[in-house]
Amino acid sequence: MSAQRRAALITGSSGLIGSEVVDYFCRDGWTVHGVDNNMRADYFGPGGDTRWMQRRLSEAHQDFHHHELDVRDRAGVEALLAGLKPALIVHAAAQPSHDLAALRPFDDFEVNALGTLNLLEAARRHAREAPFVLLSTNKVYGDAPNEIALAEHATRWDYADPAFAEGIPETFRVDHCKHSLFGASKLAADVMTQEYGRTFGMNTCCLRGGCLTGPNHSGVELHGFLSYLVKCNLEGRLYKVYGYQGKQVRDNIHSLDVARFIHAFAQHPRPGEVYNLGGGKDNSISILEAFERIAELSGKKMQYEYVEHNRDGDHICYYSDLRKIRRHYPAWSITKSLDDVFREIHAAMSSR
Ligand SMILES: NC(=O)c1ccc[n+]([C@@H]2O[C@H](COP(=O)([O-])OP(=O)(O)OC[C@H]3O[C@@H](n4cnc5c(N)ncnc54)[C@H](O)[C@@H]3O)[C@@H](O)[C@H]2O)c1
Interhelix angle 16-27/51-60, rounded to 10 degrees, is 0
**In the prediction, which pLDDT does 318 show?**
98
Amino acid at 236: G
| Backbone phi, psi, residue 313, to 5° | 75, 5
Task: Tell me how far apart the alpha carbons of residues 129 and 271 are, in angstroms, rounded to a whole number.
Answer: 11
Per run of 10 residues, the mean pLDDT along the chain (length 352 residues) is 72 96 97 97 92 97 98 98 98 93 96 98 98 98 98 98 98 96 97 98 97 82 84 95 96 97 98 98 97 96 95 92 98 97 93 76
**In the prediction, which pLDDT does 220 show?**
74
| Beta carbons of 230 and 345 less than 8 angstroms apart | yes
Task: Tell me how far apart the alpha carbons of residues 214 and 143 are, in angstroms, rounded to a whole number.
Answer: 25
DSSP letter for each residue of 253-303: EEHHHHHHHHHHHHHS--TTEEEEES-TGGGEEEHHHHHHHHHHHHS----
| Beta carbons of 318 and 138 less than 8 angstroms apart | yes
Task: Tell me how far apart the alpha carbons of residues 243 and 337 are, in angstroms, rounded to a whole number.
Answer: 27
| Beta carbons of 13 and 57 less than 8 angstroms apart | yes
| Residue whose C-alpha is closest to residue 207's, from 59, 62, 324 | 324
Sign of dihedral through CA atoms 190, 106, 316, 174? negative
Ligand 1 in reach of 184 Cβ (< 6 A): no
* 93: DSSP letter: -
Ligand 1: which residue has its CA nearest to atom 14?
Answer: 16
Q: What is the pTM of this model?
A: 0.96
**In the prediction, which pLDDT does 261 show?**
98
| Residue whose C-alpha is closest to residue 318's, from 254, 225, 249 | 249
Alpha carbon distance, N-terminus to C-terminus of the chain:
39
Calculate Rg over the CA atoms of the chain: 19
Ligand 1 in reach of 294 Cβ (< 6 A): no
Ligand 1 in reach of 207 Cβ (< 6 A): no
Ligand 1 in reach of 212 Cβ (< 6 A): yes
| Beta carbons of 31 and 43 less than 8 angstroms apart | no
Ligand 1: which residue has its CA nearest to atom 19?
Answer: 15
Nearest atom (ligand 1) to Cα of 17: 16
**In the prediction, which pLDDT does 4 show?**
53
**In the prediction, which pLDDT does 243 show?**
96
**In the prediction, which pLDDT does 216 show?**
79
| Beta carbons of 289 and 155 less than 8 angstroms apart | yes
List the beta bridge partners of residue 158: 151
